Amino acid sequence: MKILGIDSSGLVASAAVVADDSLVAEFTVNNKQTHSQTLLPMIDKVVEMSGIELEELDGIAVAAGPGSFTGLRIGSSTAKGMALVLNKPIIPIPTLEGLAYRAALAEGVICPLMDARRNQVYTGIYRMQDDRLQCLKEQTAEDILEVVNSLNKLSQKVTFLGDGVPVHKSVLEEKLTVPYHIAPTHLNRQSAAAVAALGAVYLEEGKIETAAAHKPVYLRQSQAERERAIRLQQGSRDS
């Protein structure tokens, strides 16, 4: 099974090819370049270096959200375009599941944190069981204190990863009552290899979409949409 993985949901841009339980090629950058500049060249390079033709792919796995609104649109539109041309299925990977899969060997539960600003994070709670990623709490956007309360109630060791960890590290240190571990540098951000590997699992389970049906999962409104809603609400009060 040959899967192309794409992740541009956060600060990291990443593309990878997984074939028959092996990571064949991966290109990941976290250098603040815009994903519109980097993603397509990265995909071209990993496909070229893998020696696998695009037509040989069994599917295209993409981090489907939540995350950066612009990043998600770039990743999803890229996956849609390729899937349409190649007539391949899209395997939508919830962003937090793809991130959690990076810590698949962790003891206890896995809690990815993506900074969503305004003291909120995109998060979920997961664990590995029988070689499958189990979801204990569906991905959501919530206040970091709510996350801490949920984890304290579970009374299990926690592994954290994601760009929200350094942002909220002081809260974790002060409020957590359970033992925890922060994933090391080489495992603590998004990776298309994890998206592709999880995509292979989900493809076997039939968790796929057509290119026409695929769209990103945002979980909440963009800042522009929130500001517009506020202006409309204020306008209705003034009228």
Domain assignment present for residue 61? The answer is yes
Query: Percent of the chain beyond pLDDT 90?
Result: 86
Half-sphere exposure (CA, 13 Å, Cβ side) for 94?
A: 19
What digits encode the pLDDT tens for the residues 112-139?
999 999 889 999 999 999 989 999 999 9
Q: Residue 230 pLDDT > 50, yes or no?
A: no
Q: CB–CB of 57/4 below 8 Å?
A: yes
Domain count across the chain: 2
Q: Residue 11 pLDDT > 70, yes or no?
A: yes
Q: In the structure, what pLDDT confidence band is assigned to residue 237 with cuts at 50, 70 and 90?
A: low
Indicate if 65 and 87 belong to the same structural domain: yes
Please tell me the distance from the alpha carbon of residue 86 to that of residue 50, in angstroms, as a whole number: 18
Give residue for tokens 């809603």.
229
Which CATH number does the domain housing residue 39 bear?
3.30.420.40
Q: Is 206 helix (H, G, I), strand (E, B) or coil?
A: coil
Indicate if 172 and 198 belong to the same structural domain: no
Indicate if 37 and 147 belong to the same structural domain: no
Indicate if 12 and 73 belong to the same structural domain: yes
Indicate if 210 and 143 belong to the same structural domain: no
Domain assignment present for residue 133? The answer is yes
Domain assignment present for residue 238? The answer is no
What integer best gives the mean pLDDT of the chain?
A: 92
Q: CB–CB of 112/123 below 8 Å?
A: yes
Residue 37's domain comprises 2-95+190-221
Indicate if 91 and 112 belong to the same structural domain: no
Q: In the structure, what pLDDT confidence band is assigned to residue 229 with cuts at 50, 70 and 90?
A: very low
Indicate if 31 and 55 belong to the same structural domain: yes
What digits encode the pLDDT tens for the residues 52-84?
999 999 999 999 999 999 999 999 999 999 999
* pLDDT value of residue 86: 97
Please tell me the distance from the alpha carbon of residue 164 to that of residue 47, in angstroms, as a whole number: 31
